[in-house]
C-alpha cells in the first residue's frame, strides 16, 4: 500500500515537471517575437560623427558626447523588407540606365556632306540625270536613318540615288539630305540647289520630226508610194549634179 502511494506521488511530480517544462517552452516561443521586435537605438558620436545602432542604449548612456535616439527600425522580418526595398531601388536604377544610354546615343554629333553634286550645277533635261551621293561621319547608330528629298518629296533612303529629269520642269530645284533618329527627330540636315535647263532647239527638232512621221503614217498607200519615188528621183538628181563636169575642149 505504501509502495503504491509513493509511486503515485512520483508520477504526479513527474507529470508536474513535464507540464511546467512545456509551459516554459511555450512562454519562450511567445516572447521570442517580442524579443525580435525590440526597438533599435541610434547612437551618434558628437565629436567624430560615427553612427552606431544598438538594442542596448544603456551601454552608451554613461558615455559623454553620445546622442541617443530611438529609430523605427526593428530586427526580424523588417530587415528582409528593407533589403527587398533596396533591391527594388537598385532594380529601378538599373532599369533607368538604358534610358540614359539612349539619350546619349541620340546626342551623337553627325557630320553629313553632299559629295555629289559637289556644288550648284545645271543638268540638261531630259538627257542628264541627277546623281546624288552622301557621306556620314561617324557611322549611323542603330535606329538612325538617312533620307533624301527632292523639292520636299522623299525620293530615297540611304546614301545614294539617281533622279531622272525627264519629268522635271526647267528651273531651280533643291536636294535635301536628313539624318533622323528612330523617333523621327532631325539630327542633321544639308541642302543643295541644282538647276534643270531645256535645250529648246533639240526639243523643236524632235517635235518637227514627230509631226512629219505622224503625217506620213496618215497618208494613203498610193501617196506613200509616190512620195518614195519622188525621194528616190531627188536623190538621183542630187548625185548627178554632184558629179564633176568635163569640158570637150580638154577631151579633144
- Residue 38, pLDDT > 70, answer no
d(CA 102, CA 93): 15
pLDDT of amino acid 73:
47
What pLDDT is stored for residue 165 in this prediction? Answer: 92
Query: For residue 71, what is its C-alpha cell?
Result: 529609430
User: Looking at per-residue confidence, does 17 or 116 come out higher?
Assistant: 116
E strand or H helix at 100: helix 77-106
Exposure class string for 127-166: b at 16+ Cβ within 10 A, else e: eeebebebebeeeeeeebebbbbbeeeeebeebebebebe
Proportion of the chain above pLDDT 90, given as a percent = 26
pLDDT score, position 99: 46
Q: Which helix (H) or strand (E) holds 236?
A: helix 221-241
Higher pLDDT, 252 or 164: 164
Give SS3 for 48.
coil
Instruction: For 9, list phi and psi in degrees, rounded to 5.
Output: -65, -40
Is residue 118 very low, low, confident or very high in pLDDT (cuts 50, 70, 90)?
confident
**Whole-number mean pLDDT of the chain?**
74
Instruction: Render pLDDT for 156-204 as a digit per residue (tens, 0 to 9).
Output: 999 999 999 988 998 899 999 999 998 999 999 999 999 998 866 666 6
Residues facing 51 on adjacent strands: 44
Query: d(Cα 204, Cα 199) in Å, to the nearest integer?
Result: 9
How does pLDDT run across 52-111, given as a tens digit for each residue? Answer: 777 778 888 878 888 888 765 444 444 444 444 544 444 444 444 444 544 445 478 999
What is residue 245's predicted lDDT score, i.e. its pLDDT? 58
Judge whether 66 and 43 are in contact, CB under 8 Å: yes
Amino acid at each position: 500500500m505504501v509502495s503504491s502511494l509513493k509511486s503515485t506521488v512520483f508520477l504526479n511530480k513527474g507529470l508536474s515537471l513535464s507540464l511546467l517544462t512545456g509551459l516554459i517552452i511555450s512562454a519562450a516561443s511567445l516572447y521570442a517575437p517580442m524579443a525580435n521586435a525590440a526597438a533599435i537605438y541610434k547612437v551618434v558620436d558628437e565629436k567624430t560623427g560615427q553612427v552606431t545602432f544598438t538594442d542596448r542604449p544603456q551601454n552608451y548612456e554613461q558615455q559623454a558626447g553620445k546622442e541617443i535616439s530611438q529609430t523605427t527600425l526593428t530586427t526580424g522580418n523588417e530587415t528582409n523588407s528593407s533589403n527587398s526595398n533596396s533591391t527594388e531601388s537598385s532594380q529601378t536604377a538599373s532599369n533607368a540606365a538604358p534610358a540614359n544610354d539612349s539619350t546619349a546615343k541620340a546626342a551623337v554629333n553627325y557630320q553629313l556632306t553632299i559629295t555629289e553634286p559637289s556644288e550648284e550645277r545645271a543638268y540638261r533635261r531630259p538627257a542628264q540625270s541627277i546623281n546624288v551621293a552622301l557621306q556620314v561621319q561617324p557611322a549611323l547608330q542603330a535606329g538612325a536613318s538617312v533620307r533624301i528629298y527632292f523639292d520636299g518629296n522623299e525620293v530615297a533612303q540611304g546614301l545614294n540615288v539617281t533622279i531622272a529629269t525627264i519629268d522635271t520642269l526647267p528651273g531651280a530645284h533643291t536636294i535635301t539630305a536628313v539624318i533622323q533618329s528612330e523617333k523621327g527627330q532631325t539630327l542633321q540636315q544639308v541642302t543643295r540647289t541644282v538647276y534643270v535647263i531645256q535645250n529648246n532647239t533639240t526639243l523643236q527638232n524632235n517635235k518637227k520630226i514627230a509631226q512629219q512621221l505622224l503625217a506620213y503614217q496618215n497618208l494613203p498607200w498610193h501617196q506613200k508610194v509616190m512620195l518614195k519615188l519622188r525621194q528616190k528621183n531627188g536623190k538621183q538628181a542630187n548625185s548627178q549634179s554632184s558629179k564633176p563636169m568635163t569640158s570637150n575642149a580638154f577631151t579633144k
